[in-house]
Amino acid sequence: MINTIKGTNFQLPGQTKFYNGKVRDVYTVNNETLVMVASDRISAFDHVLPEGIPYKGQVLSQIAAKFLTATADIVPNWMEATPDPSVTIGKMCEPFMVEMVIRGYLTGHAWREYKAGKRMLCGVPMPDGMVENQKFETPLITPTTKAEVGHDEDISREEILAQGLVAEADYIQLEEYTRALFQRGTEMAADKGLILVDTKYEFGTDKNGVITLIDEIHTPDSSRYFYIEGYEESIANGTQQKQLSKEFVRQWLIENGFQGKEGQLIPDMSEEYCTSVSERYIELFEYITGDKFVKEDVSDVINRVEKNVLNYLAQ
């Protein structure tokens, strides 16, 4: 198995906090700077799977950096530097406790709800007579709560305001930013022959109270992509869309009897399977960025990451 970043345990100068997420290790330095290491862990159904996916962290980190740079004219973002292919360093923000999910197409969770007979998602109506993967006339914003542990839950705009999770003026701004970011992402994807199907954005406020885009954007962990070629044909035939997202991992788990439910065992992940997942992530990187993916040296990957971070912080 190729060396992967399953986890880090650095002691950085000025380190004041460490957070181990499902996929990221986040270090806080001097209570103002975040060092985000995109590991090669992969999660599905709220479980971290036992094997790392080669180069996955590098893929996520570099896609996110490209899109954060390409959308900085729309909304300020947290990123300040990328000293290692798997690391982003930036300003600490106070996150809003909601995630802004936006859906251009009836697929995934929205389709499962629709198929079950529901015509309302997060307080937003969905028209009758639609088929799976059909495009919505206008993209739907369907927020979720931001759970520290367990599942994020669907929530409506009205519930967010009633619970005081976000002030109304801020929430209106979050919706505007969400639509503008999705439009930019849609245009960039179309240039590469892809459809940005749905995605999520996370926002916070910086130390000056400015609303700031945080975390990753438009990566295969946070977004779903279809190919433009064959999309209409698949809709007409009722066949599945070929997609570039983490959904194929979920489907493999379902086929092997795992959906995160009690008593279910995560299937064995062979080296061959992990490599195939890695290849899908690299394929998306090259499609969505238009760049050739360059595999970094992973012979001593943990030391490489630590050295690059320490060199940056020393400056």
CATH number, span 95-244:
3.30.470.20
Q: Alpha-carbon distance 126 to 106, whole Å?
A: 9
Spatial contact of 103 and 198, defined as CB atoms under 8 Å apart = yes
Spatial contact of 194 and 230, defined as CB atoms under 8 Å apart = no
Q: Do 15-92+247-314 and 95-244 agree at the fold level?
A: no
Is pLDDT of 50 > 80?
yes
Q: What is the mean pLDDT of residues 154-171?
A: 97
CATH number, span 15-92+247-314:
3.30.200.20
Residue 7 — pLDDT band, cuts 50, 70, 90?
Answer: very high
Q: What is the mean pLDDT of residues 50-67?
A: 95
What percent of the chain stands above pLDDT 70?
Answer: 98
- Calculate the dihedral angle through the C-alpha atoms of 32, 303, 51, 283, rounding to the nearest 10 degrees: 80
Q: What is the pLDDT of residue 2?
A: 79
Is pLDDT of 311 > 90?
yes
Spatial contact of 34 and 78, defined as CB atoms under 8 Å apart = yes
Is pLDDT of 121 > 90?
yes
Is pLDDT of 135 > 80?
yes
What are the boundaries of each domain within the chain?
Answer: 15-92+247-314, 95-244
Residue 150 — pLDDT band, cuts 50, 70, 90?
Answer: low
Q: What is the mean pLDDT of residues 278-283?
A: 91
Cβ-proximal residues to 250 (8 Å cutoff; 6+ apart), any chain: 44, 45
Mean pLDDT lowest among 111-115, 177-181, 220-224, 266-270: 220-224
Q: What is the pLDDT of residue 88?
A: 98
Is pLDDT of 143 > 90?
yes
Q: What is the mean pLDDT of residues 215-225?
A: 90
Is pLDDT of 147 > 90?
no
